[in-house]
Structure 1
């Protein structure tokens, strides 16, 4: 099965300010492990960056990838303006060009861009592997970040109506 690694919104403006997202160091370490595994197996690595006209304006310091994230010039970079990494972007075309059948998803924010992109990938017919220890968010007024993450790890994997498999595995269990 052809796979692609999707790394969503791991950007300075989301990870550097205090407070940082839940377990930032662990999540970044896990994402960097996934990047290394993907490179070893010639799996396309797609970095997706959110932008807006406020704190994440295109090419600003906040828009850049988080400084501890291992990026390379030969990786694929996609800009987005909504929580859906497919909406008004070239992501679908890119995945189709590589004949991708499974998206391995990690990054930020569990309840917004991760959730929406996982659902859209499944709607387009891609199997999805949510890396359960490589996506994160901030605490919200209604829920702590660890509860939000766990909720999405459980809820997204319960979705069967798309007719594809959505699974959640830890970084060490991901096979490329």
Structure 2
């Protein structure tokens, strides 16, 4: 089956570009994540393909009281390394747009469509996809390129259910002038 290009129908009339957004794939965030190695490998593949196609790759890195900036846990996983020319957005809240320069980074690159990957599905991924959508972006969630940890001890569903539910409901999101989609990593095509 051939891949499908991500949509470029956002509410931004002057932003036809797509960006791959990699959220919080940090050592301390994904250490115990569901299917960690598979998800990271899928993100590595997407990053490589985006770079080859000339699609901007935007990195987001979280810091908090429990994830101190500059600590080993705060660093991106060894498999993923932002290039010096790629924007790195530092955040302190779940939504990657909240109190960050993400919007200005995307605007400067003419981006109106996002392909979203990373962690944690039930926190920063959900916050960011909703945040992007309400701000007018087309948002494609990569079904097999986001993950979360097991929080069943605190009453949450199992991580595989969290991922599956997020993939299920996101494909049915709708709003005027923009699209929401869910694709497998192998289905994502970045236009050259």
The answer, yes or no, to whether TM exceeds 0.5 is yes
Per mean C-alpha deviation after superposition, the further-off stretch among 160-169 and 89-98 is: 160-169
Q: Give, in angstroms, the shift of residue 151 of structure 1.
A: 0.4
Does structure 2 conserve the Cα–Cα contact (< 8 Å) formed by 1:12 and 1:66?
yes
Which of 118, 133, 136 is the equivalent residue of 1:107? Answer: 118
Give the structure-2-normalised TM-score.
0.86
Alignment of 1:119-130 (within 5 A): 119-130=130-141
List structure 1 runs of 4+ shifted beyond 6 angstroms: none
Q: Does 1:35 align with 2:50?
A: no
Does structure 2 conserve the Cα–Cα contact (< 8 Å) formed by 1:10 and 1:66?
yes
Please, which runs of 5 or more residues in structure 1 have no aligned partner? none
What SS is found at the alignment partner of 1:48?
strand
Give the structure-1-normalised TM-score.
0.93
Q: Give, in angstroms, the shift of residue 167 of structure 1.
A: 0.3
Please, which runs of 5 or more residues in structure 2 have no aligned partner? 1-15
What SS is found at the alignment partner of 1:96?
helix
Per mean C-alpha deviation after superposition, the further-off stretch among 81-90 and 148-157 is: 148-157
Higher relative CO (CA 8 A, sep ≥ 6), structure 1 or 2? 2
Q: How many residue pairs end up in the alignment?
A: 172
**Cα RMSD (Å):** 1.2
Does structure 1 conserve the Cα–Cα contact (< 8 Å) formed by 2:30 and 2:119?
no
